[in-house]
Amino acid sequence: MLSINGLTKSFGTGSGKLHVLKGIDMNIKSGELVALMGPSGCGKSTLLNIIGGLMPADSGQIELVSRKYGLKNPSSVVDVRRNLVGWIFQDFHLLDHLSALDNVSMALEISGVPSKEAELRAVTALEKVNLGDRMHHIPDQLSGGQQQRVAIARAIAGHRPLLLADEPTGNLDISSGAEVLQLFKDLCHDEENPISILMVTHDPELASNADRMLLLNDGKTQASDIRSAWGLDDEGEEE
Ligand SMILES: Nc1ncnc2c1ncn2[C@@H]1O[C@H](COP(=O)(O)OP(=O)(O)OP(=O)(O)O)[C@@H](O)[C@H]1O
Ligand SMILES: [Mg+2]
C-alpha cells in the first residue's frame, strides 16, 4: 500500500545543515495501524509531511497505492493530498462556528463533492465514529475526545486509503486517547473497507496497542518493541 525507499531530508545549508532523515525505508500494508515513535525533534512530523505531499524530500521515493512521488513540490502532488492521504492533528483543527456535520461536509465540498452527497457521506462518517447523536453540536459543545472523533470523521469521509495522525491523542485524557486508538483499529481492520493509519505518538502504552511500532532514531526507522520504546521515549516515565 505504502512503500518508502531511501528517503532523505535536510534543512539549512553549509555547516548549519541539519540531516533529519537519513534513508528511511518502510512499508505499510492495507489494514495496518502503525505507531511511529522517537525522541522530540527526530523528524517524525517531517516524515509525515513528506508522505502527505506537503514537503519534498531530497532523495528517495514514495509509492502510495500506485502513485510515485517524494521529490515533487507540493503543487505537483495535489492529487495525493486530495485523494490518497487524510490528516488528523493533535489540536483537531475544527472550525469553531460550524456544527460537527458542517465541519465534515464542508471539507468534502471543498474537495469537489456536491453538497447533497457531501452531507450524506458526512452523516455516515459521523455515525461510524459514534457521533450520530452529536452531529448538530459545535466544537465548544463537545468534549476533547468527541472533537477528535469529528476530525476523524472528516478524515475518513474523504475515502482515502491512508490516514496520517500526528500525536492525535496528545490533547486527550487517557480514556479518550484509548478510545481514539480503538477507533483507529476498527477503521484499519474493517473487513469491507480497510484503511491504513500511520500514527505518531509519545505514549508507549498506546503505541504498544497498534499492530506494529516503528522507532525513528538518528534519521532511520527500525522495528521496535515496547521495551526499547520505553528506553528511548524522552517524555515517558518508567513505571
Ligand atoms: N521547515 C524547517 N526548517 C528548518 N528546520 C526544520 C524545519 N522543519 C523541521 N525542522 C527541524 O527538523 C528537526 C525535526 O523536526 P520534526 O518537527 O520533524 O520533529 P518531530 O520528531 O516531529 O518532533 P516532536 O516530537 O517534538 O514533534 C527539528 O530539529 C526541527 O527543528
Ligand atoms: Mg512532531
Q: Indicate whether 20 pLDDT > 50.
A: yes
Question: Residue 119 falls within a domain, yes or no?
Answer: no
Ligand 2 mean position to 152 CA, how many Å? 19
Task: CATH number of the domain at 46, please.
Answer: 3.40.50.300
Question: Residue 32 falls within a domain, yes or no?
Answer: yes
pLDDT at 239: 43
Question: Residue 84 falls within a domain, yes or no?
Answer: yes
Ligand closest to Cα of 89 equals 2
Task: Name which residue sits closest to atom 9 of ligand 1, judged by CA.
Answer: 46
Question: Residue 136 falls within a domain, yes or no?
Answer: no
Helix axes 115-128, 144-157, angle to 10 degrees: 130
Question: Residue 117 falls within a domain, yes or no?
Answer: no
Q: Indicate whether 78 pLDDT > 50.
A: yes
Question: Residue 36 falls within a domain, yes or no?
Answer: yes
Supply the range of the domain harboring residue 219: 2-7+22-96+145-151+159-232
Task: Name which residue sits closest to atom 5 of ligand 1, judged by CA.
Answer: 11
Q: How many domains does the chain have?
A: 1
Question: Residue 45 falls within a domain, yes or no?
Answer: yes
pLDDT-derived band at 234 (thresholds 50, 70, 90) equals very low
Ligand 2 mean position to 167 CA, how many Å? 8
Alpha-carbon distance 199 to 82, whole Å?
19
pLDDT tens by residue, 99-115: 999 999 999 999 899 99
Task: Name which residue sits closest to atom 8 of ligand 1, judged by CA.
Answer: 46
Which residues surround the ion ligand 2 when the cut-off is CB under 5 Å?
45
Q: Using a 6 Å cutoff on CB, does residue 33 contact ligand 1? A: no
Count of residues in the chain = 239
pLDDT at 225: 72
pTM above 0.85, yes or no: yes
pLDDT tens by residue, 130-173: 999 999 999 999 999 999 999 999 999 999 999 999 999 999 99
Question: Residue 130 falls within a domain, yes or no?
Answer: no
In sequence order, the 6+-apart residues with CB closer than 8 A to the CB of 239 are none
pLDDT at 228: 55
